[in-house]
Structures are given as structure tokens and as C-alpha cells.
Structure 1
């Protein structure tokens, strides 16, 4: 009983003497705006740490069908899988002189049965290592290339048998560097997802001869099994607006690539939302008129947004704990900790605001709810549905709210 009373006290605090003269006075506008501002500032310091834009490829099991990676200095991760020994995936990228070709290959499991490696092919590249016989190499006499590819290579002056370097010098043969995969000693904590990843190979090269470069990811003949892999390319962390907004769904896809079930990925959010509504109903039944109640469209939208935000925090918490269980303690855990905080604080405010409102609420509450939507939209809380509910509640309160700002 004492626990229930304490919960009621939290949900229905005493009135403050400072405020706007409506139901927002329990959360003074300036104080809430300050808190949201701090959240945005803190969040903006971290979002690009170890961030890569995810890609998926298909039909690139031969070099003539190599998957094109646009702007290879931008941070990408191409996710794929290999069936087993002798299987290969190919990628193609246009490199300019002075660019750095930066590659990192990793898997979600780290077992010795599947340790993929890399073959890098480029104009003027000094060859190193012996490529497996099943890896298709890019040669000047490659008869498998179609006329369009040959014409393209002629135009950029990098077909080794007919053209020279871009400056008109001697013809440049394609060289190949082989980076054999090694069994990782342990997992590394990737904070952006968060995930535990196992690095098997890495390569970096400053390009001196511009042209088309090829990268092959292969499963060696000694691989006892196939598996999933990720190829990180580039180093410039940048997102388009659309890529940024879709990050939560990309992250869910990455966890599926890791082998997790949808139940494990989305379960914490679903349980939080269902349990939240159930708990509100139960408190109302137990507390009678004194219990919390969702009253009006603003209340339903705000409470839904709040529970979705809190559910996102639970998803991140579960994934962080799963990753740390494999990697051990990591200093970079501060990044998911920030995202969890970003989800909890606005979520708690939206939940409280919804339980205290009637009808369409107030215009002040509407402004604050739009702030909640902005925080969630750009810092990935609520899987877009939460921010959408927050915006709907905010706009509705501003247009239809019964009270005006003083």
C-alpha cells in the first residue's frame, strides 16, 4: 500500500507556486525547456560516434555484379552473409587520388568456424599475398566484363592493357592485396547499435591511382561453416535526414542480422507499453477517484508517446546488457546511457502530462509536447510512432486547447 501511495504522489505532485497559471505550473515552462535543451546538447555530442549508415546487398557473388558503394569515404556498413567455404561477395567503389580506402570486416559471433577475409584490388596497387583460387580477380583481359564496363574503365583510363594513369603515364596493372581473416581474441563493444562485434580483418590504404577499386569478402576453404558478416567502409560519419530518421529501424535490422528474434528485439517495448496501460488501469481501479486517469485525446496521445519512449529506453537497455555480457565493461557505454536518458526523461514528462490533462489540454502543454516530439524524432526515441503521437498531442493542444499562455 505504501508503494502505491508513493506512486500516486509522483503522478500527482503538489502544486508549485511558480508556473504559467494552468496545469503546467507543476512543471514550469522554463525549467522543462532547460532540461530538454540540456538533453539535446548532450545528445548532439555523441550521435556520430562509431556511426555507419547500413546497407544491404544482393546478387554480388560475381565480380561483374559487384555491389556499387557510392562515396566510399563516407561511413557505411554493408551487411551480408556467406554460405561457407569458397563463397564470395564483391563490392565496387570509385576512388580519387588522395582518398583513404578504409575497410573493417567483422562478424556477430566470433567463432573459429567462420573467419572471413578480404581481397582488395585496385590500379597501381602493389600486390601482397596469394588470393584463393575461387576469388575472381579484376584483370585487363577479363572476358566476363560487359562492353559497358569496359567502356567505363576506358573512360577513366584505368584498364591496364589499353590505358595509362589518369595523368597519361604508363599503363597501371591492377594489384591485389589479400588480408586473411584471423580468429578474434574477443568482442568489441559497438556503442551506436549497441552490439558486440568480432573483428576478423582490417585494411587501410591511401589511394594514389584514381579509378574503380574492388573488394572481395570471402569465406576461406578452411571455413567449417558460413555466417553473417559486416563490411565497414569509409570514415566520414554523416547522414542524410532520411537516413537519420530511419536509424531506429536500421538498428532493429542489425540486431536481426546478429541472429536475434523479433521477440527479443521488440519485446521490451511491447511489454512496456502493455504493462504501462495495464498499470494505469490497475491503479485507477485500486485508487478510485484518486487514481490516475487518461482523460481526453491529449491524454491518450501523450501517454502513448510517453510509454513508447520508455519502451525504447528498455530496448536500448536490454541490447546494452546483452552486448556487455559478451564484451565486458566498456567506457563507450556512455553513448547508449545518453540515449537511454534521452528516451526516459521526455517519456516520463509526456506520461505525466497526459495523466494530468483533460480534453485537449492546454496550449502550454502543447508547446512542451512538441518539444518532446522533436527530442524523440532526432534522438531516436519512440520508433517514430512516439514522436508522431507527441506532435499530434502538441498541435491539437495548441489549436484546440482551452487555456491560453499568460
Structure 2
């Protein structure tokens, strides 16, 4: 049985890593109005997803980066809904031939040209499987740089009021280790950007953990003994499951707007992996046994590390599971010392 569990976990992780081939690195940028507050992008070829906010009608937000002659720039613009905000983009840079009427409020420097890329509201949203979400795609644009230098994308709100927009930029999918590990926190912020209440985004996993701990330590027919390891391990495992449940809810809400999409299979992988890992963690505490589980500390450490790899448990969950594993290791070493005397 244990071999089956290990093989299943490995298989799910491989599927997860394979499915990440088209994911963006998410960044919450806020308003960043004014060219002096432009968001600096070190690598415009890397795949990014910037989540910004128009404070009002006519707002202009800037993104700055460098290109070399012949470099390919790709970007698209999306919104979480169709409302007061109406985004369009202006590409600014050296030796660009002017196209379109420059919107009011957009700043140009000497020897710079611009291209206005108007946005067009789509009829239906598109399903995004990694977040998951239903977003409206307003525009998509590709440009080959004719000169080396500093470029800007100015995001302009041609709508009647405040609203949120997203800027997807780049085409090379890669993550640094901190970016990968912090994806769950970024996704929680994206939920709030989409319009979910902070109380729901933060409160949902907390409720799952609180009710789960009450059941395990108080209501269960054979309550789990309370100690630092069981508290950390149980809370971590419950956070894994809470994250899966929350993603399932968001996926169902998104699909209710877009209709069923085959790419939901990718989302299903990210729902299933943390759920399986969470169940594997909890089984050490839920199922009573007279004999101690051999190498429980090692198994908990592995499940904690895997949790970080597959975005399980809001980052906190894997850390708690790793702490439980370290406590189990410390206790095992202490028992070995006592038995050797």
C-alpha cells in the first residue's frame, strides 16, 4: 500500500511539472500611475502576468523594459470582467513610427515614437487553467524591435471609471525558486484582485483548519493526542486539503462563465495533487495504530517538500508539515539515545 501511495504521489508530481509549461509568473502591481512610477521589467522575454488597477477613468500606468534590435516583444491585455474599465495599450520606444492618436495623459520622451493598440471587449471570457479564472481578452500584440533602447507599455483606461486589468508579457516560461514557492500567495492576492472578499480568501482555509483540528483533537472517537508534532502536521495536512477545495470552487465558478473547457484537466491535476498529499499527511494522525510508523519523520519531510513543489497549502501548510517531520526526527533521535543507555 505504501509503495502505491509513493508511486501515485510521484506520478502526480510529474504530471504537475509537465503541465506547468505555459504558466505565467504572477505579479500584483497596483496602480503605478505616472511614468516615474513605471514597473521595471528586467526580462521582457520571460512570461509574466501583471495584475494592475485603474484608479479612475483616464488612468495611465507604465511598464518599462529594454530591448535589443531584432528582439521579439509579445503581450496581451485582459480583465476579470466587463465593467467601467476599458483598457488599451500604447507601445513607446525609439524609432517607432507613430500609429494612432496618442491618448491624453500618455508621456513621450524626445526621439520616441508610439503605437496605439486599441482594446476590444470580447463577447465571452476565456478559461485560464492555472489560476483558475475566467478572463476577458481585450488585445494581443507582437512587435520586433527596430532599435536597441528603453521601451514602455502604457496601459490606458478609456472607460468610465475604476477597474482592474491584467498585462501578460513574454513567451519564455520559467520560474525562479522563490517565484515558484510563493505562487500560492500570489494566487490568493489575485483572488482579491478579481473581486473576492479578503474575508473569504483568508477565512475559508482557516475555517477548514479550525473545524478539522476540533474534530481530530476533540470530537473524534479516538482523539489524536495533542503535541507540537500532531498540531503542526494536522494543520499542514488540512491546509493542503483546504487549498484543493478552494481551487475547486474557483474552477467551478470560472467554468460556469466560460462553459466546460478541456484545459480543466490541468486544473484538476493541481486540485488532486495537494488533496492526495494532504490525505497522506493526515493518515499518520487520523488512523490509530499500536505500532509507530517507521520513518514517519522522513515521510513527513518528503510530503512537506513536495507540498512546496506543487503549490499546496498556501506555503504555510508545507512549512508546518516540514516542522512536524523535524519534530518527529528529534523525538526519534531522543528515543534512540535513551534506548542505547
Given the two structures, how large is their TM-score scaled by the length of structure 1? 0.76
Q: Is 1:181 equivalent to 2:152 in the alignment?
A: no
Distance (Å, rounded) in 2 between the aligned partners of 1:393 and 1:86? 52
CA contact (8 A) 1:56 1:80 kept: yes
Q: Is 1:301 equivalent to 2:273 in the alignment?
A: no
CA contact (8 A) 2:30 2:53 kept: no
Q: Residue by residue, what CA displacement relative to the aligned partner does 1:325-359 show, whole Å, maximum 9, x if unpaired?
A: 22221111112211111111111111111234689
CA contact (8 A) 1:296 1:360 kept: no
Further displaced range: 358-367 or 39-48: 358-367
CA contact (8 A) 1:245 1:380 kept: yes
SS of the residue 2:127 aligns to: strand
Are residues 264 and 65 of structure 1, via their aligned partners in 2, closer, same or farther at CA, if it must alter by over 3 Å? closer
Are residues 77 and 360 of structure 1, via their aligned partners in 2, closer, same or farther at CA, if it must alter by over 3 Å? farther
Are residues 275 and 281 of structure 1, via their aligned partners in 2, closer, same or farther at CA, if it must alter by over 3 Å? same
- 2:17 corresponds, among 39, 44, 49, to 44
Q: Residue by residue, what CA displacement relative to the aligned partner does 1:120-150 show, whole Å, maximum 9, x if unpaired?
A: 1122223222222332223x2xxxxxxxxxx
Further displaced range: 174-183 or 43-52: 43-52
What is the root-mean-square deviation of aligned Cα atoms in Å? Answer: 2.4
Runs (4+) of structure 1 moved beyond 4 Å? Answer: 357-363
Q: Structure 1 unaligned runs (5+)?
A: 1-26, 141-159, 161-173
- 1:262 corresponds, among 189, 198, 206, to 198
- 1:89 corresponds, among 41, 61, 64, to 61
Q: Structure 2 unaligned runs (5+)?
A: 337-341
SS of the residue 2:263 aligns to: helix
Shift of 1:45: 0.8
Shift of 1:283: 4.6
Match of 1:345 in 2: 276
In our comparison, the structure showing a higher alpha carbon Rg is 1
Match of 1:390 in 2: 321
Distance (Å, rounded) in 1 between the aligned partners of 2:140 and 2:38? 20
CA contact (8 A) 2:28 2:52 kept: no
How many residue pairs align between the two structures?
335
Distance (Å, rounded) in 1 between the aligned partners of 2:308 and 2:292? 22
Distance (Å, rounded) in 1 between the aligned partners of 2:160 and 2:291? 62
SS of the residue 2:19 aligns to: coil
- 2:248 corresponds, among 317, 325, 339, to 317
Match of 1:135 in 2: 106
Distance (Å, rounded) in 2 between the aligned partners of 1:61 and 1:278? 47
Match of 2:50 in 1: 78
Q: Residue by residue, what CA displacement relative to the aligned partner does 1:186-221 show, whole Å, maximum 9, x if unpaired?
A: 11111111111111222111223111111111112x
Distance (Å, rounded) in 2 between the aligned partners of 1:304 and 1:135? 50
Distance (Å, rounded) in 1 between the aligned partners of 2:89 and 2:290? 61
Q: Residue by residue, what CA displacement relative to the aligned partner does 1:337-394 show, whole Å, maximum 9, x if unpaired?
A: 1111111111111111123468995442222111210111111111222112211222
- 1:376 corresponds, among 307, 323, 327, to 307
Shift of 1:306: 1.5
Q: Is 1:205 equivalent to 2:143 in the alignment?
A: yes
- 1:231 corresponds, among 157, 167, 176, to 167
Are residues 57 and 271 of structure 1, via their aligned partners in 2, closer, same or farther at CA, if it must alter by over 3 Å? closer
Shift of 1:53: 3.2
Shift of 1:98: 2.6
Shift of 1:83: 2.8
Are residues 322 and 294 of structure 1, via their aligned partners in 2, closer, same or farther at CA, if it must alter by over 3 Å? farther
Q: Which has the higher strand share?
A: 2
Q: Is 1:119 equivalent to 2:55 in the alignment?
A: no
SS of the residue 1:331 aligns to: coil
Shift of 1:264: 2.3
Match of 1:15 in 2: none
Distance (Å, rounded) in 2 between the aligned partners of 1:133 and 1:296? 63
Given the two structures, how large is their TM-score scaled by the length of structure 2? 0.90
